[in-house]
């Protein structure tokens, strides 16, 4: 699965870091072995191991990669922009989390109405905030990595809203056009997998 590891993969690639991208094929290898024995403080997937150091929780992994390998402005250029970025991400990840939850809900077709009605006003705010910008803050930040990835879930469930809130498609297109991102996806070892496991109620065609 692309899953929560995809943004870290892309951040590492963007920063030009060489890394091993390990994929668990057998659940027992994770749940019965590595989860118990890797020495992670908060064992979960994805995890990042950097020498003696390790970190889990995708938001923490994203920020660690940027703090460690840069470029620093991916987290905003100053205190005010950093805080706006975190505001944006906090709202966007809540919406994306609700959309992702529907993928595991067998009643997703009926449940999705309440989700979009709750979050449509928030999407409107985000769209207004981005305005005509190429990227969320006008220059590339972590938010654009997250929007480029998670906008797929919103598009699959709410295609009309995906079109109406044009920042979603525009940022994804601009992001995928970045030379560093194109370079990553051109490599044979680039990971472009399923978005969700086979047992998910909804699937995304690739």
Ligand X SMILES: N[C@@H](CCC(=O)N[C@@H](CS)C(=O)NCC(=O)O)C(=O)O
The residues of the shown chain that bind ligand X, judged by CB under 6 A, are: 3-4, 35, 44-45, 57-58
What's the closest the beta carbon of residue 141 comes to ligand X, in angstroms?
A: 19
CB-nearer residue toward ligand X: 7 or 130: 7
What's the closest the beta carbon of residue 195 comes to ligand X, in angstroms?
A: 11
CB-nearer residue toward ligand X: 44 or 166: 44
Distance, in Å, from the CA atom of 183 to the CA atom of 130, rounded to the nearest integer, reads 26
106-114: long-range contacts, CB 8 A cutoff, minimum separation 24: 106/201, 108/157, 108/201, 108/202, 112/157, 112/158
Distance, in Å, from the CA atom of 181 to the CA atom of 66, rounded to the nearest integer, reads 16
What's the closest the beta carbon of residue 19 comes to ligand X, in angstroms?
A: 17
CB-nearer residue toward ligand X: 57 or 73: 57
What's the closest the beta carbon of residue 35 comes to ligand X, in angstroms?
A: 5
CB-nearer residue toward ligand X: 116 or 146: 146
Q: What DSSP assignment string belongs to 57-114?
A: SHHHHHHHHHHHHS-GGGG-SSHHHHHHHHHHHHHHHHHHHHHHHHTT-TTHHHHHHH
């Amino acid at each position: 699965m692309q899953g929560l590891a995809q943004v870290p993969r892309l951040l590492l690639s963007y920063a030009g870091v060489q890394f091993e991208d390990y994929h668990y094929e057998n659940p027992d290898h994770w749940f019965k072995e590595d989860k118990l024995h890797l020495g992670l403080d908060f064992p979960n997937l994805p995890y990042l191991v950097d020498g003696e150091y390790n970190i889990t929780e995708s938001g923490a992994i994203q920020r660690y990669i940027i703090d460690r390998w840069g470029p620093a402005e991916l987290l905003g250029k100053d205190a005010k922009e950093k805080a706006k970025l975190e505001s944006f991400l906090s709202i966007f990840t809540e919406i994306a989390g609700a959309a992702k939850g529907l993928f595991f809900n067998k009643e997703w077709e009926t449940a999705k109405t309440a989700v979009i009605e709750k979050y449509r006003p928030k999407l409107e705010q985000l769209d207004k905030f981005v305005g005509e910008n190429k990227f969320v803050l006008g220059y590339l930040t972590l938010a654009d990595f997250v929007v480029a990835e998670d906008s797929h879930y919103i598009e699959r469930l709410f295609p009309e809203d995906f079109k109406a809130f044009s920042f979603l498609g525009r940022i994804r297109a601009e992001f995928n056009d970045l030379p560093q991102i194109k370079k990553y996806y051109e490599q044979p070892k680039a990971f472009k997998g399923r978005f969700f496991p086979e047992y998910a109620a909804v699937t995304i065609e690739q």
